[in-house]
Chain A
Amino acid sequence: MVRGSGDRRAISGAMARVLGEVAAVGGTGLPEDCIRACARVLGLDGVGIALATGSDGDRGTEPLWSGGELMRALEDLEFTLGEGPGMDARDGSLVLEPDLAPAVRSRWPLYGPAAAALGARAVFGFPLQIGAIQLGVLVGYRSTPGSLTMGQLADALVFGDAVATLLLESGPPARAWPPWPDDPVLGRARVHQATGMVSAQLGVGLSEALVRLRAHAFATGRPVAEVAGDVVERRLRLEPAGPDNDEQASSAPEGVT
């Protein structure tokens, strides 16, 4: 019933059953329970879906849905650090990292250890494509290290196709997507708002403003989403870099970094 992109792939009975439910729902937004059930069939402890944004040198992703706190944290971590499975999958690669243990040299020197410290020991990234067009990415993690079996990999690829189809059928965001806790419509709205504010505060372009936000988050060890919230609520103001080129910030009441 569900075909892989191009050739026919066999899928497990369990995945076929869940995908059947996904197909039945189609067109009315992301069926969260079904997505979670699919993740379980794949032996993943959480998955997240993000849409591809930008082109050429400006490629990124915008999170659409994350299953759970840890998935959200991993999303934010990638965004802050600028590396990780989602970013690699954004470029069309299939990403399979069965062991993020600090002792094992990671392909992501920053993200690897940080993700492991958060509790993700294996991560996987699947490009979501329609034909040759990059629609987004599906990222999943496991809290114990381990590879996907061949069966799980086959299931995952078909699941990716199903998600891509669902995204198209559900239409543009802001109509059918489930809410995030801090913003009913766009998960990273705060970050984009903060980017605008920092851009006006520092008199720099949006790209540089975002870099400054991420740098501050990295330097203070906090998620970008949190830093962005502080900026928007005016608890935090990024100052232009001082004479010794250190990132400075002022925060209420009279705090200075």
Chain B
Amino acid sequence: MMSSTREQRVADAFVELADTLVDDFDVIDLLHTLARRCTELLDVEVAGIMLADHRGTLQTAAGSGAEPDVLGLFELQNEEGPSLDCFTTGVPVLDVRTDDPRWPDFGTRARELGYGGTHALPMRLRGRIVGTLALLRAAAGPLDSETVHLAQALADVATISLLQQRSRRDSEVLVEQLQTALTSRIVIEQAKGILAERHAVTVDGAFDVMRAYARSHNLRLAELARRIIDEPDADADMSFPVADKPIEDA
């Protein structure tokens, strides 16, 4: 049973995290919030979040403290450690003590820094694992189940926000790409017309010349097209076939 003030703090923590679902927000800010709330509400000294980059390598993204030693301890987990296992398997890796034979280097370092117990929880949504939340305690031993559930719930809310933010970002990038591609196509057609008129060729013939020129001068077609539109002598050194007979009617 939680005290009402603790209940309130838990509720506040969720509200704070969930707020990020609605607005545009800074991801690092979100993760720092998560880390800080973990140390306030759970009986742990340090909380750290590691996220996978596009190559699938875990990178330390945020922590509740900025001590380089602790950060180093997290970094170690790129190679070995409870976080890496948690990320790979997608299941919590709890109650890891400093003498755990699975991760000797990690254990040694943790002991040196005074963290007797490490617990790693997955940040996942429906099968997508984006990283891990690692909790460090001075004392060795298991966390009680209420703490584990709370920690996982906080991590879950943060994960949802993270994925939604990425999805929104991806969409915006896609929209920009779409509109840029469209605008490029339009200016290319306009440039064809300009050249066709200036040099008395068909638009297809003009396009052939543009393509050859772009290739030999290592230009993208859209860039060349913009120059043709904006600069009066962009076509000065382009060679056009002389028409066999005049295109206009005599």
B192 touches A196 (CB 8 A): yes
A192 touches B175 (CB 8 A): no
A206 touches B190 (CB 8 A): yes
Binds B, one of A19-27, A97-105, A128-136, A145-153: A128-136
Q: Which of A147-193 contact B (CB under 8 A)?
A: 167-168, 171-174, 185-186, 189, 192-193
**Is the contact region of chain A dominated by helix, strand, or loop, or is it mixed?**
mixed
Residues on B with beta carbons closer than 8 Å to the beta carbon of A130 = 171-172, 174-175
Question: When chains A and B are docked, how far (Å) is the Cα of A52 from the Cα of B195?
Answer: 27
B178 touches A167 (CB 8 A): yes
B190 touches A193 (CB 8 A): yes
Interface size class of B (residues with CB under 8 A): 20 to 34
Q: Which of B180-232 contact A (CB under 8 A)?
A: 180-183, 185-186, 189-198, 203, 229
- What is the minimal beta-carbon distance from A251 to any residue of chain B, in angstroms? 10
B172 touches A133 (CB 8 A): yes
Residues on A with beta carbons closer than 8 Å to the beta carbon of B193 = 192-200, 232
- What is the minimal beta-carbon distance from A158 to any residue of chain B, in angstroms? 17
A200 touches B174 (CB 8 A): no
Residues on B with beta carbons closer than 8 Å to the beta carbon of A253 = 249
B178 touches A192 (CB 8 A): no
Interface size class of A (residues with CB under 8 A): 20 to 34
Q: Does B247 contact A (CB under 8 A)?
A: yes
Q: Does A234 contact B (CB under 8 A)?
A: yes
Q: Does B26 contact A (CB under 8 A)?
A: no
A62, A168, A194, A252: which contacts B174 (Cβ < 8 A)?
Answer: A168
A52, A53, A199: which contacts B186 (Cβ < 8 A)?
Answer: A53
A135 touches B185 (CB 8 A): no
A196 touches B196 (CB 8 A): yes
Given contacts A194-B193, A196-B191, A232-B193, contact A172 B178 (CB under 8 A): yes
A168 touches B171 (CB 8 A): yes
Q: Does A106 contact B (CB under 8 A)?
A: no
Question: When chains A and B are docked, how far (Å) is the Cα of A172 from the Cα of B175?
Answer: 9
A52 touches B174 (CB 8 A): no
Which residue of A is nearest B172, CB measured? A133
B192 touches A172 (CB 8 A): no
Q: Does A51 contact B (CB under 8 A)?
A: yes
A195 touches B190 (CB 8 A): yes
Q: Does A28 contact B (CB under 8 A)?
A: no
Residue among B181, B185, B189, B203 with max Cβ neighbours from chain A (10 Å): B189
B179 touches A174 (CB 8 A): no
B183 touches A53 (CB 8 A): yes
Residues on A with beta carbons closer than 8 Å to the beta carbon of B88 = none
- What is the minimal beta-carbon distance from B169 to any residue of chain A, in angstroms? 10
A133 touches B190 (CB 8 A): no
Q: Does B239 contact A (CB under 8 A)?
A: no
Q: Does B248 contact A (CB under 8 A)?
A: yes
Residues on B with beta carbons closer than 8 Å to the beta carbon of A200 = 193-194, 197-198
Residues on A with beta carbons closer than 8 Å to the beta carbon of B189 = 186, 189, 192-193, 196
Residues on A with beta carbons closer than 8 Å to the beta carbon of B168 = 131
Which residue of A is nearest B186, CB measured? A192
Question: When chains A and B are docked, how far (Å) is the Cα of A193 from the Cα of B193?
Answer: 4
Q: Mark B70-85 against chain A: 1 for CB-CB distance below 8 A, else 0.
A: 0000000000000000
Residues on B with beta carbons closer than 8 Å to the beta carbon of A174 = 181, 185
B178, B183, B248: which contacts A168 (Cβ < 8 A)?
Answer: B178
Residue among A133, A193, A199, A237 with max Cβ neighbours from chain B (10 Å): A193
- What is the minimal beta-carbon distance from A241 to any residue of chain B, in angstroms? 18
B181 touches A133 (CB 8 A): no
The residues of B with any CB-CB pair to A shorter than 8 Å are 168, 171-172, 174-175, 177-183, 185-186, 189-198, 203, 229, 247-249
**Residue contacts A-B, CB under 8 angstroms, 15 given:** A53-B182, A130-B171, A131-B168, A172-B177, A173-B182, A196-B190, A196-B193, A196-B195, A199-B190, A199-B193, A200-B193, A206-B229, A232-B193, A232-B203, A234-B247
- List the 4 shortest-distance A-B pairs measured between CB atoms, nearest first: A196-B193, A172-B181, A192-B189, A200-B197
